[in-house]
Amino acid sequence: MTSSFEPDRRRVLLGAAGAALGAALPLSGARAQELATTAEAQPDAAESDRIAAEFLGGVAPLAEGLAMELPATADNPAAVPLRVHVTEALTEDLWCEELIILAELNPLPLACRYRFSAATGAADVALRLRLIRSMEVRALARLSDGRVLEARAAVEAGVGGCGM
Amino acid sequence: MSRPPRLWISSATPAKGEIIRVRVQIQHVMESGFRLDWNGAPLERNLLTRFEARLNETLLMEWEPGASISQNPYVEFAFAARESGTLRMLWLDDRGMRLEAEREIILSPA
Amino acid sequence: MIKRRSFLIGAAAGAGVLGLNGGRLLAAPSVLSSSVQLMPREGSGPRIVICGGGWGGLTAARHLREEIPEADVILLERNPFFWSCPMSNKWLIDVVDTAFLTHDMLAPAQAHGYKLVHCEITEIERDKKQVRTSRGVVDYDYLILSGGIRNDYEAWFGNDQTAIEQTRRNFPSAYIPSSEHIALKNKLKNFKGGVIVMTLPPPPHRCPPSPYERACLMAWHIKTNNIPGKILILDPKPRIAPIGAGYKAAFDELYPDIITHVPNARVKSVDPFNKRISTEAGDFDFDDAVLMPPHQASDLVWRADLIGKDAEGKPTGWADMHPRLYHANSDEDVYIVGDSMGAISPQFGHYPKSGHVANYIAKIVARNIAQRVRGEEVVAELPDNLCYMLVNGDPLEAISVEFLYDVGPDGLVRQTQIDIDVRTPDLMDEDFVWIKGMFDDFLV
């Protein structure tokens, strides 16, 4: 057996390669859960309600006509699938102008805003939300005839961060 | 690690008026601006700021995502195919990233 | 030169027979003795023996020869030719042909100057730094175990060899290169209808997203041939993962009448004679099945006595190894490469057991051994992983998952997972580019 192939002093550079790689990597995915965050859940729906009122502009929302698909339990709070769509047929004379999604207790409740046009012919979107805790998700859609449609659903999110 | 947008459409040769479903996903960190690095310093916000989809020049949908949108943002929407043309999609982020994707849509004869 | 070498080989073989067998086998050719020295040492460098000529072993052999040109590299492999498990699901529906999966292993051995010996490994004697094989004994300075996985049928059947044989023969798992892949393909082609049950191994297992890919492609065959068949996926996990949303869309949209995914269906018992399976999500009868038992590290790691133990002292089933340097914790001269590797980090557990990771780790290990041989500092490196999974046969549309790794301030490896759930033809195109790059690395 040849022992001369053994290095005399075997120093291991642990971490050096890792640190270099880390700098180049996006901070994302599961490991994000380990990073400290200043994100804080909203104490209540007040901020969400304020944004909703601004969107409504005094119009009373209708509880029919906007469908929301949201799982009752979020396996992964960092990517909760959500689909929202206007159920009635949209035409060149009737379209959805604007649609907002509110994650009521997230630090910034306005998750996103969509705008469509008379050319779109549909208002049917899906996306993935990251949720800081269990909460209600709310969607409001304004049609070109002035009506505002509303849908809500609650989602149970497991404990732990959501990468926010 | 830059990869192109991944795009799926339900039909590239729809009948006139057919509702086409579109799914697109890009790789993006969606850094919320809330997180701290290992030294406790805030990580600079880098969110997708805008997505838009047009058929030729006609706007079909614009989207303004915020910090509540997941990493590697997934976008699904639908539109009525009323004319042939190029479906053009555009993504912008806080750091000036600009991504584009397009797909030809050709109406099938009735 | 030739004359001298012939003489030396003869001498060594002769010594083996006389010395170790006391002349008992004199009637047979001396090479047929398992006690003979397998091969004399060559070169001025270390001898590195690689057990297992799959994705990890073939890669290690080539890169060791490049990193350490003076090394004597011997690759021990039981199979007569190379069969790629990656892409083999696509082969089930003829997206690629058999020639795409099967490869000559002599060509890379010749091109890179390592020795390829087809044999069965019978014992690994680390105290003597030697490996016993069906072709003789071989000593080493460094040993690489790259044997992939073994099917842990014992988890279902204990030592009931009759039940194990019935299951393996009739409902092959086809997750290890063997006749099982061909049997599965024939089974699919001859399928006339009924319920096919597919049991998924509990994590960690080989190629995590691939059982769902197999379900999709079998369903595609069933759909396009109008066969009145259904596929029941019995999944021990609470949800489809990885690429869960992409797979769910494929199941719901492409195969709504064929595929049913049953979560939390950990297998409790299997009756391969009466075609019945009992799980935590209920009992199921089947007409045919792909019964994938739990996976564990290959026989080699067990033979080397390098399997880890959990807190209760029970075997983990996987190698007990350094998570950054890939050698056994109890033996720095023995490296574990590929699917047999043990847990890497408490954050995510194991590296995905994929050909990509085996190839990547093998290259790192080749560099690390070279650093040791040259007396240099050993640099710990991390892999990445990339999997493309075909979900539709026409058009060919794939989804994908990518894993990235880095090291946290606590020194632990962390994983970032990127699922691409939108099925597109360009991901399938990228898959072909990916595998060509892989094959060019270790099969040419």
Is 0.90 exceeded by the ipTM? Answer: yes
Quote the domain boundaries for residue C209: 160-294
Whether residue C173 is found in the same domain as residue C272:
yes
Calculate how close chain B gets to C422, using CA atoms only, in Å.
Answer: 6
Calculate how close chain B gets to C420, using CA atoms only, in Å.
Answer: 7
As a whole number of angstroms, the distance between CA C130 and CA C20 comes to 15
Provide the Cα torsion C110, C327, C205, C382; round to 10°: -80
Q: Which residues of C touch A8 (CB under 8 A)?
A: 375
Residue where a domain terminates, one of C294, C322, C342: C294
How many cross-chain Cβ pairs, B to C, lie less than 8 Å apart?
30
Share of chain C above pLDDT 70, in %: 93
pLDDT at A76: 85
For residue A13, name the pLDDT band (cuts at 50, 70, 90): low
Query: Which chains have 3+ CB pairs within 8 A of C?
Result: A, B
For residue A147, name the pLDDT band (cuts at 50, 70, 90): very high
As a whole number of angstroms, the distance between CA C253 and CA C245 comes to 12
Nearest by CB to residue B25, choosing from C397, C404, C420, is C420
- Bridge partner residues of A151 (DSSP): A139
Nearest by CB to residue B38, choosing from C245, C409, C419, is C409
Q: For C40-52, write each residue's pLDDT tens digit.
A: 999 899 999 999 9
Q: For C125-177, write each residue's pLDDT tens digit.
A: 999 999 999 999 999 999 999 999 999 999 999 999 999 999 999 999 999 99
| Residue C55 in this model has a pLDDT that exceeds 80 | yes
For residue A27, name the pLDDT band (cuts at 50, 70, 90): very low
Quote the domain boundaries for residue A83: 1-164
Nearest by CB to residue C420, choosing from B1, B6, B38, is B6
**Mean confidence (pLDDT) of chain A:** 83
Interfacial residues of C (vs A; Cβ cutoff 8 Å): 45-47, 129, 139, 141-142, 238-239, 245, 324-325, 347-348, 371-382, 404-408, 411, 413-418
CB contact under 8 A, A111 and B78: no
Q: Which residues of C touch B25 (CB under 8 A)?
A: 420-422
| Residue A113 in this model has a pLDDT that exceeds 50 | yes
Nearest by CB to residue B23, choosing from C409, C422, C427, is C422
Nearest by CB to residue B69, choosing from A116, A122, A127, is A127
For residue B30, name the pLDDT band (cuts at 50, 70, 90): very high
For residue C391, name the pLDDT band (cuts at 50, 70, 90): very high
For residue A34, name the pLDDT band (cuts at 50, 70, 90): low
**Mean confidence (pLDDT) of chain C:** 94
| Residue A38 in this model has a pLDDT that exceeds 70 | yes
Whether residue C277 is found in the same domain as residue C182:
yes
Q: Which residues of B touch A114 (CB under 8 A)?
A: 61-64, 77
Could you tell me if residue C175 is inside a domain?
yes
Q: Which residues of B touch A110 (CB under 8 A)?
A: 66, 68
Whether residue C205 is found in the same domain as residue C286:
yes
CB contact under 8 A, C419 and B7: no
Determine the 3-state secondary structure of C2 from DSSP.
Answer: helix
Q: Which residues of C touch B39 (CB under 8 A)?
A: none
Could you tell me if residue C406 is inside a domain?
no
Q: Is B18 left (phi over 0), alpha (psi -120 to 50) or beta?
A: beta
Backbone angles phi, psi at C148, to 5 degrees: 75, -130
Whether residue C179 is found in the same domain as residue C287:
yes
CB contact under 8 A, B80 and A38: no
pLDDT at B37: 84
Residue of C407, C417, C421, C422 to mutate, interface with A, max A Cβ within 10 Å:
C407
Query: Is residue C79 a contact partner of residue C121, using CB atoms and an 8 Å limit?
Result: no
Backbone angles phi, psi at C167, to 5 degrees: -70, -45
| Residue C230 in this model has a pLDDT that exceeds 70 | yes
Query: Which chains have 3+ CB pairs within 8 A of B?
Result: A, C
CATH of domain B6-105: 2.60.40.10
Total domain count, chain C: 2
| CATH number, residue A160 | 2.60.40.2470
Share of chain A above pLDDT 90, in %: 69
For chain C, give me the number of helices (H) and strands (E)? 13, 26
CB contact under 8 A, B72 and C418: yes
Could you tell me if residue C404 is inside a domain?
no
| Residue C9 in this model has a pLDDT that exceeds 50 | no
For residue C425, name the pLDDT band (cuts at 50, 70, 90): very high
For residue A36, name the pLDDT band (cuts at 50, 70, 90): confident
CB contact under 8 A, B4 and C419: no
Nearest by CB to residue A26, choosing from B19, B29, B68, is B29
For residue A161, name the pLDDT band (cuts at 50, 70, 90): low
For residue A136, give the nearest of A105, A115, A94 by alpha carbon. A105
Q: How many CB atoms lie within 10 A of CB C342?
A: 25
Could you tell me if residue C26 is inside a domain?
no
Query: Is residue B91 a contact partner of residue B25, using CB atoms and an 8 Å limit?
Result: no
- Bridge partner residues of A150 (DSSP): A140
CB contact under 8 A, A112 and B31: no
Whether residue C193 is found in the same domain as residue C128:
no
Residue where a domain terminates, one of C294, C315, C349: C294
CB contact under 8 A, C380 and A25: no
- Segment C194-213 shows an average pLDDT of 98
Cis upstream peptide for C204 (omega within 30°): yes
CB contact under 8 A, A11 and C407: no
* Whole-number Cα distances in Å, C12 to C17, C20, C26, C46, C136: 9, 12, 15, 19, 11
Q: For C271-328, write each residue's pLDDT tens digit.
A: 999 999 999 999 999 999 999 999 999 999 999 999 999 999 999 999 999 999 999 9
Nearest CA in chain B to C400: B6
Residue reference for tokens 């642990």: A14
Nearest CA in chain A to B25: A127
Residue of A31, A47, A83, A115 to mutate, interface with B, max B Cβ within 10 Å:
A115
Start-to-end CA span in chain B (Å): 44
Q: For C319-328, write each residue's pLDDT tens digit.
A: 999 999 999 9
Cα A72 to chain centroid distance, Å, stands at: 15
How many cross-chain Cβ pairs, A to C, lie less than 8 Å apart?
92
| CATH number, residue C287 | 3.50.50.60
Does an H or E element contain C217, and which?
helix C210-224
Calculate how close chain C gets to A163, using CA atoms only, in Å.
Answer: 11
Query: Is residue C223 a contact partner of residue C251, using CB atoms and an 8 Å limit?
Result: no
Calculate how close chain A gets to B29, using CA atoms only, in Å.
Answer: 6
As a whole number of angstroms, the distance between CA A111 and CA A103 comes to 6
Q: Which residues of A touch C408 (CB under 8 A)?
A: 31, 34
Nearest by CB to residue B82, choosing from A26, A108, A121, is A121
Whether residue C316 is found in the same domain as residue C234:
no
| Residue C2 in this model has a pLDDT that exceeds 80 | no
CB contact under 8 A, A11 and C378: yes
A2 at C interface, C-beta within 8 A: yes
Whether residue C306 is found in the same domain as residue C376:
yes
Share of chain C above pLDDT 90, in %: 90
Whether residue C176 is found in the same domain as residue C305:
no
pLDDT at A12: 52
How many cross-chain Cβ pairs, A to B, lie less than 8 Å apart?
144
Could you tell me if residue C333 is inside a domain?
yes
Instruction: For chain B, give every domain's residue range.
Output: 6-105
C127 exposed, middle or buried (CB, 10 Å; 0-12, 13-18, 19+)?
Answer: exposed
* Whole-number Cα distances in Å, C368 to A12, C80, C114, C372, C423: 10, 29, 18, 6, 38
Nearest CA in chain B to A77: B70
Query: Which chains have 3+ CB pairs within 8 A of A?
Result: B, C
For residue C54, name the pLDDT band (cuts at 50, 70, 90): very high
Calculate how close chain B gets to C47, using CA atoms only, in Å.
Answer: 38
Does an H or E element contain C55, and which?
helix C55-67
Q: Which residues of C touch A16 (CB under 8 A)?
A: 379-380
As a whole number of angstroms, the distance between CA A98 and CA A56 comes to 11
Q: For B48-100, write each residue's pLDDT tens digit.
A: 999 999 999 999 999 999 999 999 999 999 999 999 999 999 999 999 999 99
